[in-house]
Amino acid sequence: MQTNTVSRAERAVRLTGVALVLILTALCIGGLICWSTVTKNGIIENTSLPISAQFGTRRLLAASDGGDGYVHIGGTPIGISICADGLIVMGECGVQTEGGVVHPLAGADVRKGDILTAVNGTRVRSVYQLKVLVDNGDGEALTLTLKRGGEAYEAKATPATDINGGLKKLGLMLKEDIGGVGTLTFVTEGGRYAALGHYITDADTGLGGELDNGKIYPTEVDGVIRGERGKAGGLIADVNRLSKSVGDICANTLIGLYGNYSAPPQGEMYRVARKGEAKPGAAKLYTTIDGDAPAFYDIEIVKVVSQNEVGEKGMVILVRDKQLLAKTGGIVQGMSGSPIVQNGSLIGAVTHVFLQDPTRGYAVHSRFMYDYAVGGTSFAPESVQYGEAA
């Protein structure tokens, strides 16, 4: 009986010890699970929710100090008016006078793509101003100051009096700016914007780097020309340059337009992804295909290039969304700059569409755009283009 009693006591002690070990082990595992859950939820909240309600203004203002950057996402269409440092020469023409057609610039080496900056030393900024300067002159030869390839030169021209209207003319075809439609990518808390995601060049003259100032305007998408194999589609929108602008164009770079944004930003706040965060797989495109209200559409990141140097072709994307495909055929011109979101972070922006497959295109890493927006580093344009600018 005594032996049995001791045996029962030993078993009870052993069982108690095992129970304690199991309880402690369960507590440890429970603690690890709770810690892991809190950490994971923290990551999700930091990347997917509007952070204005989470971190407050102080955190946002500190975003450019080497920590994560946060921006108001764009996705809205913008009208673009970008200018050179003067009037862009489109060509030379004759003036119909009483004595016949006269070419005031005959013999002068003035070419398409040159930039007229001054007349007799007076800066010219508009075609109207030039007309007034020429018509109010005494009819003597004028000294024109022009730029070509960044180098200034002078040409002489004697205005001729047009038989139709009696105005003195130089026989120059000119334009003040280059117009178009693109998409706003984001606005920083400091009021700097990024848009388009690629460089702007003038198809008529080949000018690019000379186009370095202008305005952006609010606009609405009135319709869409569907993209087809071998032919890029496009958004249809009117740009009213007499309306109030929402920003100044201060830089025309390899990875888009940048400047000061003067309107209240409308988009929610998103974290800008760091290097290595963008991955092949599902993502969302935020763009506008009707009116001025952007929406999210399903896309796939087909390829990611881990770039150390700035480039506007850091990702290959594929449109998967049935609604977007039905409406646009894929990526169309005017979508350039449309933000791309993956796992709650802003990872990039659309830049180009593949002409032979409008469902595919290129995108730029948003971290490059953010660095420029907050730091203003200068980038030179690439000489080789792939695809068609979207």
What residues act catalytically?
198, 321, 336
Beta strand pairing call for 269-272 and 345-354: parallel
Task: Supply 42's token pair.
Answer: 């923290």
Burial 289-299 (b: 16+ CB within 10 A, else e): beeeebeebbb
In 3-state terms the chain splits into helix, strand, coil percentages (rounded to 5) of 20, 40, 40
CA–CA gap between residue 68 and residue 64 (Å, rounded): 7
Closest to 222 measured CA to CA, from 389, 388, 79: 79
CA angle 126, 110, 112 (to 5 degrees): 70
CA–CA gap between residue 383 and residue 370 (Å, rounded): 23
| Helix (H), strand (E) at residue 34 | helix 2-48
Phi-psi label, residue 124: left if phi above 0, alpha if psi -120 to 50, beta otherwise:
beta
Q: Please, which residues have CB within 8 angstroms of residue 12's CB and are 6 or more apart in sequence?
A: none
Cβ–Cβ contacts within 10 Å for residue 235, how many?
A: 26
Closest to 241 measured CA to CA, from 181, 172, 173, 174: 181
Asked if 159 contacts 172 with a C-beta cutoff of 8 angstroms, the reply is: no
Asked if 142 contacts 159 with a C-beta cutoff of 8 angstroms, the reply is: yes
Task: Supply 131's token pair.
Answer: 């007309």
CA–CA gap between residue 91 and residue 104 (Å, rounded): 13
What is the three-class DSSP state of 338? coil
Closest to 287 measured CA to CA, from 79, 80, 78, 77: 77
DSSP state of 265: P
Burial 100-135 (b: 16+ CB within 10 A, else e): eebebbeebebeebbbbbbbeeeebeeeeebeebbb
